[in-house]
């Protein structure tokens, strides 16, 4: 329950301050890329003589370089991430809608609705680039945290309603 409340509160804050959340998310991404890259470089040398050392080293260098680029150009990075999300939403939405129409599995109408909404969200995001890029990532992070929080809250409430023997 506590995790759910914390996630819901953080998600709400992220939705209220989406630009700040976008900047925080891209900063975390930069740090994770750089730390992961350094770890891969160290791991490549630490592993000793094995055939994958060059690939590990190159991937580690790529991670570090990408982390520096993201940290040096956070606004451009947010715009590019938003562009990627918009295109992903368009493609995922189209695939979901087409699959629902072609296969017509049970409850296919919900999948069709999901696909159409996802596709339209991608088109709306894409058409507003680059102006709205600064808040889109933060809003999506906030929505994910909010809904994840409510999922945990509802799960905790359901567990409290179970008989004591079933809960143990």
The answer to whether 46 touches 12, Cβ cutoff 8 Å, is no
In the predicted model, what is the mean pLDDT of residues 141-147?
A: 92
C-alpha 19/C-alpha 30 separation (Å) is: 17
The closest alpha carbon to 4, from 160, 162, 164, 155, belongs to: 155
State the residue range of the domain holding 155.
2-167
Q: What is the pLDDT of residues 52-79, one digit of tens each?
A: 888 899 999 999 999 999 999 999 999 9
| pLDDT of residue 168 exceeding 70 | no
Q: What is the pLDDT of residue 71?
A: 96
Q: What is the pLDDT of residue 166?
A: 55
What's the total number of domains in the chain?
1
Full-model pTM: 0.76
Average pLDDT, the chain: 91
167 by Cβ neighbours in 10 Å (0-12 / 13-18 / 19+) ranks as exposed
C-alpha 152/C-alpha 154 separation (Å) is: 5
The closest alpha carbon to 67, from 25, 36, 42, belongs to: 36
Residue that the structure tokens 């000793």 belong to: 48
C-alpha 11/C-alpha 157 separation (Å) is: 20
Whether cis (ω within 30° of 0) applies to the bond prior to 130 is yes
Q: What is the pLDDT of residue 23?
A: 94
In 3-state terms, what secondary structure has residue 86? Answer: helix
Give start and end residues of each alpha helix (H) in 47-163. 53-72, 74-103, 108-127, 133-161
C-alpha 25/C-alpha 20 separation (Å) is: 9
Q: What is the pLDDT of residues 15-59, one digit of tens each?
A: 999 999 999 999 999 999 999 999 999 998 887 777 788 889 999
Q: What is the pLDDT of residue 51?
A: 72
In the predicted model, what is the mean pLDDT of residues 142-156?
A: 92
């Amino acid at each position: 329950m506590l995790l759910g409340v914390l996630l819901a509160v953080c998600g709400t804050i992220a939705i209220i301050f989406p630009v700040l959340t976008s900047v925080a998310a891209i900063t975390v991404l930069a740090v994770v890329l750089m730390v992961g890259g350094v770890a891969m470089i160290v791991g490549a040398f630490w592993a000793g003589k094995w055939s994958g050392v060059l690939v590990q080293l190159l991937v580690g260098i790529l991670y570090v370089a990408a982390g520096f680029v993201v940290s040096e150009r956070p606004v451009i990075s947010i715009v590019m991430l938003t562009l990627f999300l918009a295109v992903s939403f368009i493609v995922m939405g189209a695939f979901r809608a087409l699959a629902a129409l072609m296969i017509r599995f049970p409850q296919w109408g919900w999948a069709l609705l999901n696909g159409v909404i996802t596709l339209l969200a991608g088109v709306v995001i894409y058409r507003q680039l680059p102006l709205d890029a600064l808040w889109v990532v933060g809003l999506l992070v906030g929505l994910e945290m909010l809904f994840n929080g409510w999922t945990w809250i509802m799960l905790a409430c359901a567990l409290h309603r179970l008989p004591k023997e079933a809960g143990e």
